[in-house]
Structure 1
Amino acid sequence: MFDFRIEFPRLKTPIALIIDDPAPYVNHLYYLKRYLNPKYPAYYEEFKTIPNDFLEDFISVVKRWPVKGKFSVIPNPAGQGYLDEGLRGYPKEGVERWIRLVKDEVAPLFDITPEMITHTNAIDLETGELLPMHEQTWASRQTAETLTPYIAKALETLKKLGFETSGVTSPGAFGIDVEAEYVRAVLNAVKKVYGVKLAWYFLKVDERSHVVYPRLAYLDKYRGEAVVSIVSGNDDVIWSTMTPESRRSWSRRRLLEYADCYITGDGKAGRLVELLNAGSYVVFHTHWNSLWSNDARHGLAVMEEVLRRINTLVGDRVLWMKLSEIACYYAASKTLDIHVDKSPDHLRLFIDNRFPCPDLTVSFNCGFKVDEVYLEKGSFRSGWTEAKTSETVMKLEKSVDELRPNTWVQKGERLIICFDNRLGNTVEVKAA
């Protein structure tokens, strides 16, 4: 039996860290309490500004430990001004330096997305006036036609700043009540601003399920269009580090207890380990305010310990990926078609994939001992007796330890191949 499977990339579990809510200077929680909901906790209003040097602290952590994921940049934080024009009450050079640091130091590791426009009050695109409701409340009454220009405005602002993205982040539960409309709007906006046909969004959290996978929210396979919903598998347990009670009682023991919620000091327990051991994607999120902890920065210290534990204790089992990379891989894994030509000493596998990705990893029983594997460009149509190849891209190397890009390994009769599907779509396997 051929038993074709799409494996995790490089046989490692995809893992990603999501950072919600960053912006230069503006603490959006202050504005949420003051202008939208006075019943929010008092500590929301304790600080109006998050100092820009906190970004430098964050960068030092993510450069010290391997990590990838998603990092939001709010285009018009709390309605205080579009970032490409400047923020009211804050120095323009400070805003520009913050953006430059994100572009130079954060963007190589994290997808940069808008978290819609203000993350507080919805904004009237025609007048620029703030509306007396949260963006997620406004979104719950919209259609794809009205959501599209709103999301596009957020993306256009980031594009003016020099960021490229194929995804967005929902502020709060933005879009959850009209998700079918939201999905269409995300795709339409990403296509309009960046010309991209594979879009993704972060909206949902599932901190209890044994396994948490991305979800294919929309697919038009023959147009090569898709939208992937990326789901976080944990709660933001360090949110409470903002509270006065947490800050007053802080200790090294508390830091380690928080880290244990993600992964214990021996790497055997914690929510992220549960997901890893269950064969799940491991996507987890936190917030800029959670890391900053109302200037105590305790949350960032916890996250550094979490990253240290992940990379030292289970680092050989995971592959850090941006959310765009996860979205592409997941879309490919759910939609590709194959054609197989096989003889006793030769096998040709043609893969029709509308969402080509690096590190595409597949396995199958080939029925013979393998000597050589080649990556080629090929084609196949209904009615043809076999797939045709036009160009040999490269000879894939036999792996001697762990599976690396453009290598293969055989375990018994099962052949596992990892290759860059953007370069070639046909695998030629020759017997020894």
Structure 2
Amino acid sequence: MAFGAAGTLTAKQLPAQKTVSPPLLDQSTQSKISVLLPRDRVPLSFVIDDSTCLVNMGHFCTPQFATAWPDRAEYKQPWQEWPREIPDSFVREFGEWCSENGVKGKYSIVPYPACVGWMDRELPGWSRRQLQDSLKLVRDLMVPNWDIHPEMITHTRVIDLKTGRPMQEINKATMENSFPQEKKSVDELAAYLAYALRILKNCGLPCEGVTTPGGFGNAVKKELPAAVHQAVRDVFGTELPHYFKYVEMGDDTEPKLENLSALDSTYPQVTANVLAGTGDWFGGWQGIRTIEQQRYLSPDGQTGRMADLIRARQPAVMLCHWPGMFNNGSKDGFHAFQSIVRTIASVYGKQTVWMKLSEIGRYWAAKRLTKITLTDGKISLIAPFATQCFTLSIPRSSNIAASNQLTLSHGSQSQLIKRVSSEWKLNSNTFFVDHQSVKVCFDLTKGISSIQTS
């Protein structure tokens, strides 16, 4: 959970980081060309925290949190009455429905969930075959449309990396939700993150980012982006690591680019901090909260946080916790989510596009860091990162507006970009001309490329 077990979801103050805002247009280009949203649509995504294979984190986490924070009322719930398992049948039902409806997002797999068992070894209470089948289901069904993140190692107890065992004492200093209590170096943080990542790598699960549970990393916010980059790149060789930690309830939900260096080199260094734009108003991390569906979106699609973000053309990333989808068997959260997705499709379907967190982070890295020039009707681009459906707006006065097709060139390769008759048809390798501008959408390659009339 991003803020979950430690308390109420609220907007968080982001740490001071070196960030970039405007795209790197040369002076003559700046008033002529702009980078739009992908396909000129608002990105949507769904962040799922506290998910893992089989283990119901609400059931197993609650007594451990109660030991560390004995006075908190939310930890005095009747966890013994809740099911210990969120079955694979629900994962399949959820994943198949989301695939059919184009939903994408982030899905956590806690590697050693609440110290119950290891995802890459054994899960006491379930057979080895059940664990392997559950992991295969995630690989086959979830991985294509969802970023897989470790949510640290246990989501409860801090692990001694030398022994692989939980720390002996049980208090807020030895719980991942409030770890660390003191300053840690980038290397120390990266070692902890890498430990979690390696377990998922052993399971055959790809990871381009991590999720922080609760207040993990609050004392080391400045070091965290570099640690994420180091750990994810070391374990998975990921070009552009990202992480999920923050909920932003203000006006700006765009990803933050942090830990920037060597931007003009072959191997630029950037960490994308991808934000959620809502609280968790489903069933919460224990799956027992009253669902507040209208806080996300009203049945007519006119009010709610998602409507506000879409109208403001800001990334609209919803947040939930997996037990709050299952709701200890009632699946009320999932049913509410289905209703929200259907409403978005019917009211805002031509204005939005579902994306994984990694795709959103990558698009913003390209949006902010690609150098663009427009000279004599030719667009030249130097991109440190590739991305799909990169979309530019060019003045209609350009000679590009009179063309029926354009040519995208990268080295010896070329690709035709064809004109479409309406803006909602804008997709990769197409362009649309309206009364003010030309909108060009294409798959941006890393390095040098250009677009000109054919």
Q: TM-score, normalization: structure 1? A: 0.88
CA contact (8 A) 1:370 1:430 kept: no
Question: How many correspondences in the alignment?
Answer: 404
Tell me how far apart the structure 1 counterparts of residues 370 and 315 of structure 2 sit (CA, whole Å). 20
1:79 is displaced (CA, Å) by 1.4
88 and 145 in structure 1: CA distance in 2 versus 1, 3 angstrom threshold: same
- Cα offsets for 1:343-396 (capped at 9, x unmatched): xxxx2211111011111111122533421311002xxxxxxxxxxxx4351121
1:112 is displaced (CA, Å) by 0.9
Tell me how far apart the structure 2 counterparts of residues 8 and 140 of structure 1 sit (CA, whole Å). 39
1:169 is the counterpart of 2:211? yes
Tell me how far apart the structure 1 counterparts of residues 130 and 42 of structure 2 sit (CA, whole Å). 39
Tell me how far apart the structure 1 counterparts of residues 273 and 321 of structure 2 sit (CA, whole Å). 19
177 and 88 in structure 1: CA distance in 2 versus 1, 3 angstrom threshold: same
Give 2:416's aligned amino acid: K
Tell me how far apart the structure 2 counterparts of residues 428 and 301 of structure 1 sit (CA, whole Å). 45
1:59 maps to 95
Give 1:363's aligned amino acid: S
SS at 2:253's partner residue? Answer: coil
**Aligned residue runs from structure 1 range 282-297, under 5 A:** 282-297=316-331
2:417 maps to 396
245 and 128 in structure 1: CA distance in 2 versus 1, 3 angstrom threshold: closer
267 and 229 in structure 1: CA distance in 2 versus 1, 3 angstrom threshold: same
Q: TM-score, normalization: structure 2? A: 0.84
1:206 is displaced (CA, Å) by 1.8
CA contact (8 A) 1:34 1:45 kept: no
**Aligned residue runs from structure 1 range 330-349, under 5 A:** 330-342=364-376, 347-349=377-379
In terms of mean alpha carbon deviation, does 362-371 or 215-224 score higher?
362-371
Higher share in strand: 1
1:196 is displaced (CA, Å) by 1.8
SS at 1:210's partner residue? Answer: coil
**Aligned residue runs from structure 1 range 91-240, under 5 A:** 91-131=127-167, 132=170, 133-141=174-182, 142-207=184-249, 209-220=250-261, 221-222=263-264, 223-239=267-283
Q: CA RMSD in A?
A: 2.1
Choose from 365, 372, 375 the match for 2:408.
375
Tell me how far apart the structure 2 counterparts of residues 174 and 284 of structure 1 sit (CA, whole Å). 20
- Cα offsets for 1:40-85 (capped at 9, x unmatched): 1314443261232332332243134220011011111111222110
Give 1:7's aligned amino acid: L
Tell me how far apart the structure 1 counterparts of residues 194 and 208 of structure 2 sit (CA, whole Å). 11
1:423 is displaced (CA, Å) by 7.6
1:90 maps to 126
- Cα offsets for 1:93-120 (capped at 9, x unmatched): 1111111111111111111111111111
1:304 is displaced (CA, Å) by 1.3
CA contact (8 A) 1:43 1:242 kept: no
Q: Note the residue ranges of structure 1 that are not aligned, 5 or more in a row.
A: 247-254, 378-389
Choose from 349, 354, 359 the match for 2:389.
359
1:68 maps to 104
1:325 is displaced (CA, Å) by 0.4
Tell me how far apart the structure 1 counterparts of residues 323 and 293 of structure 2 sit (CA, whole Å). 17
1:195 is displaced (CA, Å) by 1.3
1:3 is displaced (CA, Å) by 2.0
- Cα offsets for 1:204-250 (capped at 9, x unmatched): 0123x13321111221113411001111111101135967685xxxx
Q: Note the residue ranges of structure 2 that are not aligned, 5 or more in a row.
A: 1-28
Tell me how far apart the structure 2 counterparts of residues 316 and 295 of structure 1 sit (CA, whole Å). 34
Tell me how far apart the structure 1 counterparts of residues 276 and 53 of structure 2 sit (CA, whole Å). 25
The percent of aligned pairs where both chains have the same amino acid is 28
CA contact (8 A) 2:92 2:141 kept: no
CA contact (8 A) 1:170 1:202 kept: yes
Task: Between the two structures, name the one with larger relative contact order (CA 8 Å, sep ≥ 6).
Answer: 2
1:427 is displaced (CA, Å) by 3.1
1:202 is displaced (CA, Å) by 0.4
1:414 is the counterpart of 2:429? no
Tell me how far apart the structure 1 counterparts of residues 385 and 64 of structure 2 sit (CA, whole Å). 43
Give 2:256's aligned amino acid: R
CA contact (8 A) 2:296 2:340 kept: yes
- Cα offsets for 1:145-191 (capped at 9, x unmatched): 11111111111111111111211111112112211211111000011
